[in-house]
Structure 1
Amino acid sequence: MALIRITKQFTFETGHALFGYDGKCRNVHGHSYKLGVTVIGEPIKDEDNVKLGMVIDFGDLKKIVKQEIVDKFDHATVFNKNTPHVELAEELQTRGHSVILVDYQPTSENMIQDFAEKIQKRLPEHIKLFGLKLQETESSYAEWFAADNS
């Protein structure tokens, strides 16, 4: 049995603001996020399977991550719905802007946990999420590993 990890990278543009924060990130701003998604599993050994030798088809992984994360977060603004930012969110929505209201402070650390939950729910049983890397800037990123969260 050989366990193999494969990774697919994604990019998306998302705005956010950190309510109550004591620095510049309290202001609405955006990032060009890079998300690395690593899964682990055994390559398919069934010679009659068109995906012989694959842990998961990169296209199948792409579909999951695009539907759960990229298509929703790309060019959207994320606000904590439990703060007065909800008023700003409602105003932006009335003007046709894409807004996501979450029940957490939209930091990279909290977003990556949210992403891990969403992706794990969609993976086939024989594939496990190994880790995520969410890069907010060229020099700043958050990482999530299944081994740290079991």
Structure 2
Amino acid sequence: MLQQIYPSVQHPYSFELNKDFNFSSAHYIPFEEAGKCHNVHGHTYFINLTIAGNELDEMGFLVNFSELKSLIHGRYDHRLLNDFQEFQDNSPSTEQVAQTIYNIVQESLDKRLNKPKCVQVFVRETPTSYVVYRPANHGVDHA
């Protein structure tokens, strides 16, 4: 796994964990203006999830690292992203992939009693290109 420093995100939580993993998928951007990306092609996506919270679960975890990887890797590895329902109305651009990963992860976290928050998703598509997605409220509840 590529070791690197990721952009940091400010948050008010006591605990922060980061999980790195990768998956290999193909996609195409369904617009001719996308140039070569209009053709089916593949990437090994490198992902970093930043999860934060104030409470640990009964095992002393904010969330189990393996749960985070299985949510995404098990779904997208060695698949054509365009085939997934979540990309039927949205081009599977790196930006959309990052936001979709956020949505999947946060939906899972919302079911946990300790209510951790996904505060950042980093998606590296190529050695020279990456996207960072942060929810508009940076994962902070304002209720």
**TM-score (ref. length: structure 2):** 0.74
User: Is the alpha carbon distance of 1:17 and 1:50 closer, same or farther for their aligned partners in structure 2, counting shifts above 3 Å?
Assistant: closer
The one of 11, 34, 43 equivalent to 1:31 is 43
The one of 33, 41, 54 equivalent to 1:42 is 54
Query: Which runs of structure 1 show a deviation greater than 4 angstroms over 4 or more consecutive aligned residues?
Result: 147-150
Report if aligned partners of 2:52, 2:118 keep a CA contact under 8 Å in 1.
yes
Q: Give unpaired runs (5+ residues) of structure 2.
A: 1-11
Q: Which amino acid aligns with 1:69?
A: I
Residue 24 (structure 2) pairs with residue 8 (structure 1): no
The one of 91, 105, 111 equivalent to 2:97 is 111
Q: Give unpaired runs (5+ residues) of structure 1.
A: 80-98
The one of 47, 54, 79 equivalent to 1:76 is 79
User: Is the alpha carbon distance of 1:119 and 1:50 closer, same or farther for their aligned partners in structure 2, counting shifts above 3 Å?
Assistant: closer
Report if aligned partners of 1:5, 1:130 keep a CA contact under 8 Å in 2.
no
| Equivalent residue, structure 2, for 1:144 | 133
User: Is the alpha carbon distance of 1:50 and 1:115 closer, same or farther for their aligned partners in structure 2, counting shifts above 3 Å?
Assistant: closer
Percent of aligned pairs with the same residue? 25
The one of 33, 47, 67 equivalent to 1:63 is 67
Q: Which amino acid aligns with 2:94?
A: S
Per-residue deviation at 1:114? 1.1
Q: Which amino acid aligns with 1:29?
A: H
RMSD: 2.3
Higher CA-based Rg: 1
| Equivalent residue, structure 2, for 1:21 | 32
**TM-score (ref. length: structure 1):** 0.71
